[in-house]
Amino acid sequence: MLNKVLIANRGEIAVRIMRACKEFGITTVAVYSDADQSALFVKYADEKYNIGPGPASQSYLNKDKLIDVALKCKAEGIHPGYGFLAENSTFAGMCKKNGIEFIGPPVSAMELMGSKIESKKSMIKAGVSVVPGVTEAIADHERAKDIAHEIGYPIMLKASAGGGGIGIKKVDNEPEMEQALVSVRQLAKNSFGDDSVFIEKFIEDPRHIEFQVIGDKKKHLIHCYERECSVQRRHQKLIEETPSTALTPELRKEIGEQAVLAAKTAGYYNAGTCEFMFKNGKYFFLEMNTRLQVEHPITEITTGVDLAREQLRVASGLPLEYDQKDIKPRGHAIECRVNAEDPLNNFMPAPAKILRYAEPSGPGIRVDSGVYQGFTIPPFYDSMIAKLIVWAEDRPRAIERMKRALWEFQIGGVRHNIPFHQVVMDHPNWKSGDYNTSFIPRYQILEKVVEYVKETKAQSNTPKTAAAMAAVQAVIIAANAQQK
């Protein structure tokens, strides 16, 4: 087993990985920017090293600095978390060159899956169902128009090296093509240093379903079933659940086998996620995320598999603790991403000092967070405050439990998106499970959230309501303090 691990990340995911390390007796090393010097993950770590100013480009994305710190403190492994350098094959290669175990997949798999064009070619060759389109980089707009004409509008322009919803643009007709191609190529170059762009058929209103896979270095690969991630804004996920209401047992088995096939084709080990688009009983491989996902807790809570623990075991050369037959999901889980966003200002990030913070608790509730009361959320990074995860025996009870947990969650001093989640949980299409990636715009969810916030604010200004809320908050804070 590894003895010391450096976590090349911050916030709640850094805390999550450190907790897994602690259970193995692994010494944890935090790296932090000037903006994060008082962060929870820094306080939690056994050792900590400042790596530069607040902007990520000068700290968390500084590959050379991270390697220098790892060598200085004699870390045997580096866990990249997600985001930042988690899917950067160059950084993984630097770890290998310096004798440091990169806690993730092999460099070759990252390079293959990091290129959407090359990964699509390999999936087609292996017999994995993919989104209709081409496997060539498009630089000339006349060629782009010819391909779009063959496939049929609307189409999607996608950056080959893209991720996080960046470098994706829908094109509805031919007149839009030239400017759209220039725009996406420039964005791809600025964001990823690679302006390769390809074309896929745009699938109207699909479901976004991903399968968790994990394997060891002895080529033993399994999947841990699916997560539905269709509640999205600007291609970024906001709510996830498992199991998906869209899949039959037969389809679940079939797509799971396709996910394992995709991972094996890439020569994969450690944790990863195969993403699929699903519509009318048909599914298409979209891409593979070569890292642990933000929404991994709902898989953990339904399968009993500690994914971070398995990552550490695999990186240490140990075999998986599970076979496919051992993975038997139970109940239903939902995750809501609680972000510092202002619903009254187009959900713009709203970093500020947290003046009051009380997490919900009780049966079936898990909160993954990297903040605390008095902490100031920096403006340089993702605006996530916490991930709220609930589990129950079935979906209706999970929804009711999430509503209760959202009501209990108390955050003061920072504008946040809890009202968004409250509105979604009460929406009839969410409750029925009849939704897709167009859910938010189709039902004007963001507009409804604004109305909800204004109404709630007006009601809370009455003396009676304000006093009642203050009493509830005091009870919750006191109860949580006693538990800790």
- Residue finishing a domain among 178, 201, 224: 201
Q: What are phi and psi of 276, to 5 degrees?
A: -130, 150
Say what the alpha-carbon torsion angle 206, 212, 217, 219 is, to the nearest 10 degrees: -60
Strands 47-50 and 27-32: parallel
pLDDT at 222 over 60: yes
Q: pLDDT confidence of 478, banded at 50, 70, 90? A: low
> In the structure, what pLDDT confidence band is assigned to residue 462 with cuts at 50, 70 and 90?
very low
Q: Does residue 102 have a pLDDT over 80?
A: yes
Q: What CATH number does residue 20 fall under?
A: 3.40.50.20
Q: pLDDT digit string (tens) for 306-337?
A: 999 999 999 999 999 999 999 999 999 999 99
Is residue 364 in a domain? yes
Report the candidate in 436, 342, 317, 33 with the shortest Cα–Cα distance to residue 10: 33
Task: Please identify, among 53, 83, 103, the residue that sits at the C-terminal boundary of a domain.
Answer: 103
User: The domain spanning residue 157 has which CATH number?
Assistant: 3.30.1490.20
- Asked if residue 140 and residue 94 are part of one domain, the reply reads no
The mean predicted confidence, pLDDT, of the chain is 93
Helices (H) and strands (E) in the chain, counts: 17, 20
Q: Rounded to the nearest 5 degrees, what angle is found at the Cα of 31, between the Cα atoms of 26 and 32?
A: 140
Does the residue 25 lie in any domain?
yes
Residue 477 has pLDDT above 70, yes or no: no
pTM of the model: 0.91
Same-domain status, 94 and 162: no
Residues 99 and 183 in one domain: no
Q: List the catalytic residues.
A: 291
| CATH number of the structural domain spanning residue 431 | 3.30.470.20
DSSP-assigned letters across all residues of 295-345: THHHHHHHH---HHHHHHHHHTTPPPS--GGG----SEEEEEEEE-EEGGG
Residue with tokens 């060539």: 136
Q: What is the pLDDT of residue 483?
A: 44
pLDDT digits (tens, 9 = 90+) for 388-414: 999 999 999 999 999 999 999 999 999
Same domain membership, residue 472 and residue 336: yes
341 and 443 co-located in one domain: yes
In a domain, 275, yes or no: no
Whether 236 has a pLDDT exceeding 90, the answer reads no
Residue 43 domain flag? yes
E-strand spans in 62-154? 77-79, 101-102
Task: Supply the range of the domain harboring residue 184.
Answer: 132-201
Compute the distance between CA of residue 401 and CA of residue 134 in angstroms, rounded to an integer: 45
**Does residue 484 sit in the same domain as residue 391?**
yes
Domain assignment present for residue 119? The answer is no
Residues 338 and 483 occupy one common structural domain: yes
At 111-166, the pLDDT tens digits run 999 888 999 999 999 999 999 899 999 988 899 999 999 999 999 999 988 666 78
Three-state secondary structure call for residue 127: coil
**pLDDT at position 193, please?**
85
Contacts of 257 (CB under 8 A, 6+ apart): none
DSSP string, 144-183: HHHHHHHH-SSEEEEEEEEETTEEEEEE-SGGGHHHHHHH
| Distance separating alpha carbons of residues 170 and 200, to the nearest angstrom | 10
How many residues are there in the chain?
Answer: 484
- Tell me how many domains the chain contains: 3
Q: How confident is the model at residue 474 (pLDDT cuts 50, 70, 90)?
A: low
To which residue do tokens 């304000």 refer?
466
Residue 108 lies in a domain: no
Does one domain contain both 158 and 32? no
Are residues 343 and 483 both part of a single domain?
yes
pLDDT in tens, 251-287: 999 999 999 999 999 999 999 999 999 999 999 998 8
Statement to judge: residues 46 and 148 lie in one domain: no
Tell me which amino acid residue 436 is: N
Residue 463 has pLDDT above 80, yes or no: no
In the predicted model, is pLDDT for residue 6 greater than 50? yes
Asked if 475 and 434 sit in the same domain, the reply is: yes
Same-domain pairing of 72 and 187: no
